Structure 1
Amino acid sequence: MARLNLRAVEDRVAPLGGHESYDRGFIFDLLLAYGKPKGNVTRLRKGSLNVAADPDHEVAQKNVVYFRETTGDPLRDVEELRTSPHVVRYNPRFVIATDYSELLAVDMKTSENLMIPIRDIDKHFTFFLPWAGMEKAYYVAEAHADVKAAERMGKLFDELLKTNPDLLDLPYGRQALNVFFTRLLFCFFAEDTGIFTDNQFTNAVGSHTQADGSDVDDFLSDVFTALDTADPQDKPARLAAFPYVNGRLFTVREKDVVPKFTKRARDLLIELGTLMWQEINPDIFGSMFQAIVTPGKRSDLGQHYTSVPNILKTIEPLFLDELKEEFDAGFDNVKKLEPLLDRISEIKIFDPACGSGNFLVIAYKELRRLEHAILERLAELTPKHQVLFAESKINIENFYGIEIDDFAVEIAILSMWIAKHQMNAEFKEKFGVSIPLIPLKETGRIQPGNSITIDWDSVCPNNRIDEIYVLGNPPYLGSRNQSAEQKQDLAAVTSKYKSLDYVSAWLIKGSGYIRDTAAKLSFVTTNSITQGEQVGLLWPQVLAQDLEIGFAYTSFKWSNHAKKSAGVTCVVLGIRNISSDPKYIFTDEIRLDAKRINPYLADGPDIWISRRSAPLSELPKLGFGSMPNDGGNLILTDSEKDDLLATAPQLRPYLRGFSGSDEFIKGKTRWCLVIPDDAVSEASKIPAIKRRLDGIRAHREKSTEKSTNAKAATPNHFYFWAHQDTESVIVPATSSERREYIPIGYLDKNVVISNSANAAYDVKPWVFALLTSKSHMVWLRSVGGKLKTDYRYSNTIVYNNFPVPPLSNRVKEQLTVVALRVLDVREYHCEKTPAELYDPEKMPNDLRAAHAEVDLLVDSLYSKRKYETDEERLSDLFAMYEKMVTEEEAKKPVKRGRK
């Protein structure tokens, strides 16, 4: 069925709310409301698709839902389900427990919770939107622990800077302040989570320091020293109860500085201690806190934090899905589960641009959860031989990172410790075994440095056989936004650096790191490296002959927990050494099998689309429109045209419409002067014309280009004249990425197309049908590249390379009919501009239907099957492109050398 939009989901869920009683049918109706296939839901209802451990009281579908009806406490049941081996085994997106009065649900990817009366389900329909293929762009409320803690930390940070203005003048001042705040964060977390006794740190500050804050710095210095002292007898009596932490966090350093406090600073410190620090998420808070203390980043609080669902897009297909499938296959076999336990204990995770550790934290937590599920299942299988495990085998020392920001390194290490403590608490809840966090035995393998210039093997040694997964979200930065230093970084890894995005350096280095080894790589990155000219520049040196793309998520909007999400369109790429393992393309929540994933993220051969001077297919020439290069003197607005004709009506034959991309799409009107050579003398007698021609001549004479200077002698001429006195087709050079179809149109012979658009002349309607088809739009989006976020249409890259099979006259007639239908519908809505007609939320139904007829006919030129996804279209387009290029090469005469 067609994908549902938000309004459709709301309408479909609405009838489920407000009932007096509910039964088991609720879960099936709920799944149907979100567009789950009727056949699957029917099979689930009948039991053939139900993988639940207790099918009498539970309904479970792999990757979708684990639902339990209970007569007990739904909260207890949902908590039990969340970490049960059966749930980990089948990886559902949502876990639900209900007594048909209250409903509790957990989003397993985002950890969001829902606790509502079941009759209010319609009021909370957005919670389950991922079932309909819509990731929730949700926002963190002001009261959320992470945001509140970061903002309160920011207030203390500002107060201490005001009190200690000379601190940042020290060569190590900012680093010392960063270390100080990292220590505070640990103390607050420790006293709320059982590492310290309850409120131990906050109470000590409140009890042992003066109200005016004058001695807080000395007291905190003593506390930090105590936390780094192993023997309680070596500590002052008032601090003897503080435990030994170790792990380098409180190690005394020569550059340590504890800032002076005021009364307000002391009050803020104690106020921070009242927050619920056990609720913070280390994968989120680290990025937020980093923004607080980084100059210029405060307003972007959390903006560049990568959301958990997006992190899982790298982790799951890279290694986690395979591990869970292995867990599933060995679920009833101790001899398979024990080796799996050993395997995950040896896995190494490496993020070479780790920031504050988001990816490492999530990867660590996921491996710990899988470990817990395996241990719990082993205990179920061998009740006489209970699994006694005093320590997790998932070691922080197996998590590696490189980060250029010193403070982010400290936060990343601290976040890993916090994540470990949180998972230790879950371990204790499951197995009754307490794993103390302190003294910290691990220091982590996260190092400061420039990831592009540092040797990755020196950070995470790759001995060729270790199971290493390289992942992360390296900085993007388009070629125009890079500093001189960043250009220099890129130049260190590739000679083709001038037009490449900054993230390319990580892909090139990463491919070298994993080549000929067991290691694999997955990055979140902008989709620009899979489009346009960058494909040919970057990917031959990344893949070469021995690597392949193992999986890919096609373009999606980058989203996070921030109030203002960054406007970036991303892809996820998984790269590995060539193997026979399955390959997958993920698009719109659908997983497609692929034979070969090329750098355009299509199921097709590795092809590098380069500039072509003439069309590959039977298409007319498309080129730039006419370029004035006139200092604005040949071009007129409506009012300027009217004023000119009011004084010189004899000029009407020399005025023509003038349209570029912006004018055509937005329905604007402009005009241009086209004065024949034999009319220049007479026209120049009109002062307004003489003034304009003189202005053109002066503009061109000032140019540093010789070709422009030469045109000064003929100011009545356009610098470049492409116009022909026929009907023309205008193809905008740029168009909003929101549109399903670029507005392409026919123009009268009296309208001159400007060089801001592409133009073709004397074009038959069947060509128009091809250009306005979904197949052509898919081709554009894949190979055309972007200008900012807009589609960029190039005649040499997009149009000339577009593969069209030979067309019979009958097919051309059919294409003509559907093309004219689109034009007729547009004419019917002539009061609307192309921008309005092609707004995806406002597109008239009859125009959409007319385009659907075009799409159906054009699709039939490439395949007998009906396309379900654009990726299927693109796969066939690349196959035809490869075939046509091969045939073209075969027809070229063989060059013979001299005898």
Structure 2
Amino acid sequence: MLRPDEQRKAASAFVERWQDRGNERQDSQTFWLDLLENVYGIDQPGEYISFEDQVHLDHTSFIDGYITATNVMIEQKGRIKDLRKGIKQSDGTFLTPFQQAQRYAMNLPYSQRPRWIITCNFTEFYVYDMERPGGDPAVIALTDLPEECYRLDFLVDQANPHLEKEMQVSMQAGELVGQIYDELLKQYRDPNSDDTQRAINQLSVRLVFCLYAEDAGIFGRHGMFHDYLADFDTRFLRNAVIDLFRVLDTPIGKRDPYLDEKLAEFPYVNGGMFADEDIEIPQFTDELRTLLLEHASADFDWSQISPTIFGAVFESTLNPETRRQGGMHYTSIENIHKLIDPLFLNELRTELEDIKKLKQPATVKRRAAAFQDKLAGLTFLDPACGSGNFLTETYLSLRKLENDAIRLIYGDQNMLALEKQIIKVSIQQFYGFEINDFAVSVGKTALWIAESQMMEETKSIVYTNIDFLPLKTYTNITEGNALRFSWSELVPANQLNYIIGNPPFNGARLMSKVQKEDLLQVDSQIDGIGSLDYVAGWYLKAAQIMQGHSILTAFVSTNSITQGEQVEILWKPMLERYGVHIDFAYRTFKWTSEAKEKASVFCVIIGFSKTATGRKVVYSSSGQPEIVTHINPYLVDAQDAFVKNRSKPLCSVPPISIGNLPIDGGNYLFEKDEMESFIKAEPESKRFFKPWYGSREFINRKPRYCLWVGDATPSELRKMPHVLERIERVQEFRLASTRAATRKLADKPTRFHFENMPTTNFLVIPKVSSEKRRYIPIGYMTPDNLASDLVFVVPDANLYEFGVLTSNVHMAWMRTVAGRLKSDYRYSAKVVYNNFPWPHVTADQQAKIAETAQQILDARALYPDSSYADLYDERTMPSELRKAHQNNDRAVMRAYGMDVATTTEGDSVAKLFTLYAHLAK
């Protein structure tokens, strides 16, 4: 790809060429070939993008453009076409360009379906992220392309081959360390003791350092460690390793003058790496000797590892907990950059690019030297640093910028005779807290490895001879519980520039008693602090140290701190008492942290400060940036408001409640075949069975069945021995409970703990629904059905109320304030429904919404054999149902006074927050 300055220039020329052109038939292919070749640097764009691929839909359906390498589908229209309006198709239907592309995508094999869909009319690009179905498109105007061309980088953004190689090598290194560790552990007398764990961890760190040092040239000669060990038979290997460690920790001038020649060749390491001579080292075996000399040393090049990835892989490989879970954990470099780039790195890169554009050589050198000094003056703290991957990657990123500056300052000079400090950025600028002692050791080692790698890069620029050993810089990673320590004692607040990291993800209900006490220790004034996730402690500690200082902070966090009840508990004091401002944020995305099993959690990234920075940016889950005027704690462009748990609706609408909660140990619930068998054995029970719907049963239109005998008379019950047996089981189940209220419930075993059985039709809202659906499936049920506590019930809801609840306006509110179960929507009565600001409607508006709501029910009725899962799958949603929802959406938006043509989902949420703030007063 082109450099940023080259790309901006090329984009400006592209805009000039295409400003007044745009015939769909004549210009489409030329337009895209020009864009890919001249703006995004694709050498042979005709081989990179394919045009007019036929879709097996009908003989007239062709995909305008498809980029296989990055899974991008393009639907191109002419200049006069409105990308948001429907266009008549050959089958008579009206589809927007996006809907047309969606239809094509649905008829492709799964492996070929697009990750992105772009609709374009030569003047605008509408970018749809298919991992956010139903989300608003990112809109990029042709005239803005020179400044916003990075927003289309995904067209050509393929994996960096160098990074891929580093990752693979680092993972292989982790595998080797794991094998060595397993073989070593067998040799310890007490492998399960804490002392053994500490000893083997320290031994592993030292062996890895030696393996890396010989391949990276740090020891002075390639293969020194291998050649030294190769002289010893297995039975003498332990003593050879002990002797080597002692020599590595001894300055040259203090060594035994009669030292063995091969030992004497090794340099003095310093830095405390080999300081403890009393660590327990067991005997080596033939298998260990082979692993070390052949597989780990002779057959593997440790100099190619990424210290960022390997540090985390190394730590997790030797961490008993993560080993039990299987696989090796690490935070990807890409994810680290999602945090550090918008926090500070993008700004530094831009500053360096501006220096490069200057014309006067003397000015370039002067400005580059000042830039280098600026880099050397920055201080970073990661207060939950683990194996140091955020610190390591940040150090590497700063050193790469520094090397660019060194290039500008010194050019290709030979610096051998120059007495000047060439490298100024130091690992001493990086501080960390970590509670695990072994992770501390690994983090220090990763930083040392990173320092050595970057020193080699500097040498290649200025041809200088800088010795890495003995270690001259010391790492500032401290073992301890960050929530119990004063951060300013590790690094004074007036010297600190950035706080970064990925604190622990423990949820509020999964924390230990000690962790709960940690939170109280941070801020005991917060009401409800026990309901916060553990990560909230780091936010509060950061806010405290930021008082009176211009420190910028960004953390990766579980997305739950921006949803549901946690928002008010955490963010009200953060904003009002500590006075912080959210400067940038990544909305919910998967944070992949495990290399083998790809276990993921759903996270957000939030950057904040005391002195609000100028530009506010919100990134979508796929990384698409959006410039906004304000970011509230729900990570939307809207005023600050805190949606509280509310027991009754904010507006005059029907009350909502959960369905029935039996507390029966499952004894009253049956699958269909189980019910049929039961009725066969007990025919009298048939009239007591009712369909039973929770979220899963409702969405799939496949009920279970409930034996409801709460209204049965004693004489009816005595005629049914199998039913009596079930009643007895329920009674026993309740009596065995540890809760007094449940034991009390055993007195009336035929009744439910909570009963909610409307006598008229009622609305059902699933508690949990897939985030892949644009609309949560909501529908009516008749009184002969029973709802479980896994759905919400709204009795006597009329068509108008159903229409508003099923609209995109309500769904946008829900997506913003609701909690999540993983990434699925978790609807809530107290947060979502009761706080929803309903519109003030006229009689005509109410009637129109009721009419469009009925259209939705009528469209569903056309497909009686389809479940809600079928009907609300974006790939299979019937056109009649989609059109009915669109009509309803427009009717509801008009009731709120929203412009149907221009209002985005973000706009509607902003309006709802304004209305909520007014109503909540």
User: Scaled by the length of structure 1, what TM-score is found?
Assistant: 0.79
Q: How much has 1:822 moved relative to structure 2? A: 2.8
**2-side partners of 1:842 and 1:227: how far apart?**
67
Aligned to 1:123: none
Q: Distance in 1 between matches of 2:841 and 2:608?
A: 39
Instruction: Provide closer, same or farther for how the CA distance between residues 371 and 40 of structure 1 changes in structure 2, counting only shifts above 3 A.
Output: farther
Q: What is the match of residue 332 of structure 2?
A: 307
Question: Counterparts in 2 of 1:855-894, with a 5 A limit?
Answer: 855-860=889-894, 861=896, 863-864=898-899, 866=901, 870-886=905-921
Corresponding residue for 2:228?
205
Q: Is the 8 A contact 2:312 2:331 kept in 1?
A: no
Q: Which residue of 1 aligns with 2:188?
A: 164
1:393 CA displacement? 1.2
CA contact (8 A) 2:890 2:900 kept: no
User: Of the candidates 258, 261, 272, which is equivalent to residue 281 of structure 2?
Assistant: 258
CA–CA distance in 2 between the matches of 1:301 and 1:515? 42
One-letter code of the match for 1:415?
A
Q: Which residue of structure 1 lines up, in the alignment, with residue 627 of structure 2?
A: 593
672-681 or 322-331: bigger deviation: 672-681
The 3-state SS of whatever aligns with 1:791 is strand
Give the aligned partner of residue 220 of structure 1.
Answer: 241
Alignment CA distance shift 1:214-1:841 (3 Å): farther
Q: Deviations over 1:260-315 (max 9, x none)?
A: 21222111110211201111111111111112222132255664311111111110
Alpha carbons 1:160, 1:259 under 8 Å: kept: yes
Equivalent position amino acid for 2:270 in 1: N
Residue 492 of structure 1 corresponds to: 521
Deviation by residue 1:423-450 (Cα, 9 ceiling, x = unmatched): 1222222333343322211011111111
Inter-partner Cα distance in structure 2 for 1:640 and 1:349: 62
Separation of aligned partners in 2, 1:306 and 1:759? 42
Q: Please state how far the C-alpha of 1:178 moved relative to its aligned partner.
A: 1.9
Asked whether 1:625 is paired with 2:659, we answer yes
Contact 2:593 2:600 in 1 (8 A): no
Cα RMSD for the two superposed structures:
3.9
CA contact (8 A) 1:550 1:576 kept: yes
The aligned runs of 1:456-535 (5 Å cut-off) are 456-463=487-494, 466-495=495-524, 496-535=528-567
Letter in 1 for 2:590: K
Asked whether the equivalents of residues 862 and 877 of structure 1 are also in contact (C-alpha less than 8 Å), the reply is no
Matches within 5 A, 1:42-81: 61-62=149-150
Instruction: State the identity as a percent.
Output: 34
- How far 1:185 sits from its partner (Å)? 1.2
Alpha-carbon distance in 2 for matches of 1:164, 1:696: 53
1:291–1:300: 8 Å Cα contact kept in structure 2? no
Partner of 2:573: 541
1:764 corresponds to = 798
Contact 1:291 1:301 in 2 (8 A): no
Structure 1 unaligned regions, length at least 5: 1-11, 52-59, 66-91, 96-104, 114-138, 887-899
8 Å CA contact 1:292–1:301 kept in 2: the answer is no
Counterpart code for 1:528: S
Residue identity opposite 1:796 in structure 2? K
Aligned to 2:484: 453
- Aligned equivalents of 1:651 and 1:228: distance in 2? 83
Matched residue of 1:181: which SS? helix
Q: Superposed, which structure 2 residues align to 1:284-299 within 5 Å?
A: 284-298=309-323
The match for 1:779 among 793, 803, 813 is 813
What is the alpha-carbon distance in structure 2 between the residues aligned to residue 339 and residue 641 of structure 1?
80
1:707 to 1:374, Cα distance in 2 relative to 1, 3 A: closer
Residue 277 (str. 1) matches residue 311 (str. 2): no
Deviation at 1:47, TM superposition (A): 12
* Aligned counterpart for 2:290 among listed residues 237, 245, 267: 267
Partner of 1:107: 160
Kindly state the Cα deviation for residue 635 of structure 1 after the two structures are TM-superposed: 4.9
**Partner Cα separation in structure 2 for residue 652 and residue 163 of structure 1:** 67
1:190 maps to what in 2?
213
Counterpart selection for 1:439 from 459, 470, 489: 470
The answer to whether structure 1 residue 579 and structure 2 residue 612 are counterparts is: yes
Residue aligned with 1:543, SS: helix
- Given the alignment of the two structures, is residue 800 of structure 1 paired with residue 800 of structure 2, yes or no? no
Q: Could you tell me which amino acid in structure 1 is paired with residue 756 of structure 2?
A: A
Query: Cα distance 1:623–1:377, how it changes in 2: closer, same or farther (>3 A)?
Result: same
SS of corresponding position for 2:337: helix
- Deviation track 1:559-609 (CA, whole Å, cap 9, x = no partner) reads 246021222100001121042522221113322223332221122233221
Alignment partners' CA distance in 2, 1:697 and 1:259? 60
* TM-score, normalised by the number of residues in structure 2: 0.77
**1:819 Cα deviation from its structure 2 partner:** 2.5
- The alignment partner of 2:783 has SS state of coil
SS at match of 2:244: helix
Partner SS, residue 229 of structure 1:
coil
**1:818 touches 1:853 (CA, 8 Å); kept in 2?**
yes
Q: 1:265 and 1:815, CA in 2 relative to 1: closer, same or farther beyond 3 A?
A: same
Question: SS state of the match for residue 767, structure 1?
Answer: helix
- Does 2:344 correspond to 1:319? yes
- Following superposition, the deviation at residue 614 of structure 1 comes to 2.2
Residue 759 of structure 1: how far off its partner (Å)? 0.6
Q: Count the aligned residue pairs.
A: 789
- 2:198 is the alignment partner of 1:175: yes
Residues 1:444 and 1:813: Cα distance change in structure 2 (over 3 Å): same
Mapped contact 1:187–1:201 kept (Cα < 8 A): no
Query: Following TM superposition, by how much is the alpha carbon of 1:663 offset from its aligned partner in structure 2, in angstroms?
Result: 2.1
- More displaced stretch, 670-679 vs 476-485: 670-679
The Cα of 1:535 is off from its aligned counterpart by 1.4
The one-letter amino acid of 1:238's match is K
Question: Which of 177, 181, 201 is matched with 1:153 structurally?
Answer: 177
The equivalent of 2:59 in structure 1 is none
- The one-letter amino acid of 1:111's match is L
CA distance in 2, matches of 1:161, 1:705: 46
SS of aligned partner of 1:627: coil
Corresponding residue of 2:106: none
**Helix, strand or coil at the partner of 2:186:** helix
**Which digits, 9 at most, give the CA deviation of each residue in 1:64-84, with x for residues without a partner?**
66xxxxxxxxxxxxxxxxxxx
The question of 1:394 aligning with 2:417 is answered no
1:409: Cα distance to partner?
A: 0.9
Partner in structure 2 of residue 896 of structure 1: none
Q: Secondary structure at the match of 2:280?
A: coil
8 Å CA contact 1:526–1:570 kept in 2: the answer is yes
In the TM superposition, what is the alpha-carbon distance from 1:469 to its structure 2 partner? 0.6
2:269 to 240, 245, 252: 245
Contact 1:318/1:520 (<8 A) preserved: yes
- The answer to whether structure 1 residue 352 and structure 2 residue 387 are counterparts is no
Distance of 2:868 and 2:702 partners within structure 1: 11
| Residue identity opposite 1:454 in structure 2 | F
* Equivalent residue, structure 1, for 2:402: 371
Q: Is the counterpart of residue 416 in structure 1 residue 440 in structure 2?
A: no
Corresponding residue number in structure 2 for 1:231:
252
Deviation for aligned residue 1:163? 2.0
> Does structure 2 conserve the Cα–Cα contact (< 8 Å) formed by 1:622 and 1:759?
yes
* Runs (5+) with no aligned partner, structure 2: 1-31, 51-66, 75-115, 127-139
Query: Do the aligned partners of residues 768 and 520 (structure 1) sit closer, same or farther apart at CA in structure 2, a change above 3 Å counting?
Result: same
Give the drift of 1:419.
0.9
Deviations 1:798-826 (A, max 9, x none): 10111121122322333233323333333
Partner AA of 1:152 in structure 2: L
Shift, 1:655, TM fit: 4.7
Judge conservation of contact 2:184–2:200 (CA < 8 Å) in 1. no
- Cα 1:863–1:204, aligned 2, differ >3 Å: closer, same or farther? same
Letter aligned with residue 531 of structure 1: Q
Question: Is the Cα–Cα contact under 8 Å of residues 375 and 387 in structure 1 kept in the other structure?
Answer: no
